[in-house]
């Protein structure tokens, strides 16, 4: 039974968030929202424990499609980083601010970049592309993420400075256009670098927040040095090019907790 501790713990964390947000905002939507996400994440982890090979993809589709289509396109919520700045500047603790607080700022202290492995709707599409395991070393162009991060901040700041009207509509169009741009750039980069996760490694502005928070993550993949035979298989299959065998805390800033290394380790040295 001990092996089922992870999904139960995750379910408990998301239920705590669901109830807290519901009570804090007096909006029952948050109870349903985070309960749904918690169940989806716990289901994915449970299926992984049961050795179902598409376990992570199930959660990615359940959460990613829900957030992109239901919250984004139908609910008119800009859940991208521009939406976060927008709600932050307006002082509204709702939608994107809550999403960022849970998935990308405080959540990573517990589950690292689990968002990137299990829930992101951009990666949900990128992970269908053919280059699941990059065979080239990482490029030194990670600085691009700081430009996209600054651009998103400047864009929303300018809207406030010029006193733009119809801000909600602008943010909806920003969400639409932003997503199309992310998918286009992500797909092009995947083919150029032969690496599905090139966008995540070099361009995604969210990683500017995710990486430092994940450094302190409670949940990290650890390597039992007594079992490891240095075969290198874990690094070969890692979509993020992480050498997880050295147990360095900085690995958590790149690791997306996709569990591919655990699945492929011949000695069961990773957990």
Q: Which residues bind ligand SF4 (CB under 6 A)?
A: 116, 120, 122-123, 199-200, 204, 206-207, 221, 223, 228-234, 238-240, 242, 244-245, 255-261, 265-267, 269-270
Residue 223 has phi, psi (to 5 degrees) of -110, 130
* CB count in 10 Å sphere of residue 91: 7
| Listed residue (141, 253, 157) closest to 202, CA to CA | 141
DSSP code, position 143: T
The contacts of residue 254 (CB under 8 Å, 6+ apart) are: 113, 201, 211, 240, 241, 242
> Hey, is 223 helix, strand or coil?
strand
Q: How far is the CB of 197 from ligand SF4 (least distance, A)?
A: 7
DSSP code, position 224: -
Residue with tokens 């909006």: 27
Q: How far is the CB of 155 from ligand SF4 (least distance, A)?
A: 18
Nearer to ligand SF4, 22 or 206 (CB): 206
Nearer to ligand SF4, 13 or 223 (CB): 223
Nearer to ligand SF4, 98 or 238 (CB): 238
Contact 42, 50 (CB under 8 A): no
Q: How far is the CB of 34 from ligand SF4 (least distance, A)?
A: 18
Between 55-65 and 29-49, two packed helices, what is the crossing angle to 10 degrees?
A: 170
Tokens matching residue 82 = 């521009």
DSSP code, position 190: H
Nearer to ligand SF4, 190 or 258 (CB): 258
Q: How far is the CB of 165 from ligand SF4 (least distance, A)?
A: 31
Nearer to ligand SF4, 95 or 223 (CB): 223
Q: How far is the CB of 153 from ligand SF4 (least distance, A)?
A: 16
Q: HSE-up of 65 (CA within 13 Å, CB side)?
A: 7
Q: How far is the CB of 255 from ligand SF4 (least distance, A)?
A: 3
Nearer to ligand SF4, 139 or 267 (CB): 267
């Amino acid at each position: 039974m001990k092996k089922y501790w992870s999904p139960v713990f995750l379910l408990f964390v998301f239920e705590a968030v669901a109830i807290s947000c519901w009570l804090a905002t007096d909006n029952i939507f948050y109870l349903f929202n985070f309960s749904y996400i918690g169940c989806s994440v716990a289901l994915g982890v449970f299926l992984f424990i049961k050795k179902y090979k598409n376990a992570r993809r199930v959660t990615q589709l359940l959460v990613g499609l829900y957030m992109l289509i239901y919250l984004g396109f139908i609910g008119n919520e800009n859940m991208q980083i521009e939406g976060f700045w927008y709600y932050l500047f307006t002082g509204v603790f709702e939608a994107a601010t809550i999403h960022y607080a849970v998935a990308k700022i405080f959540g990573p202290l517990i589950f690292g970049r689990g968002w990137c492995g299990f829930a992101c709707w951009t990666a949900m599409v990128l992970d269908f592309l053919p280059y699941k395991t990059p065979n080239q070393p990482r490029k030194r162009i990670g600085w691009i993420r700081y430009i996209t991060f600054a651009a998103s901040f400047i864009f929303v700041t300018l809207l406030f400075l010029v006193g733009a009207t119809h801000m909600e509509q602008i943010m909806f169009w920003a969400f639409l256009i932003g997503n199309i741009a992310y998918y286009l750039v992500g797909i092009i980069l995947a083919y150029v670098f032969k690496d599905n996760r090139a966008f995540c490694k070099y361009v995604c502005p969210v990683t500017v927040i995710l990486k430092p928070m994940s450094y302190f993550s409670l949940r990290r993949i650890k390597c039992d040095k007594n079992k490891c035979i240095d075969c290198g298989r874990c690094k070969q299959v890692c979509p993020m090019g992480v050498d997880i065998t050295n147990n360095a805390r900085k690995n958590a800033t790149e690791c997306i907790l996709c569990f591919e290394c655990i699945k492929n380790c011949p000695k069961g040295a990773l957990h």
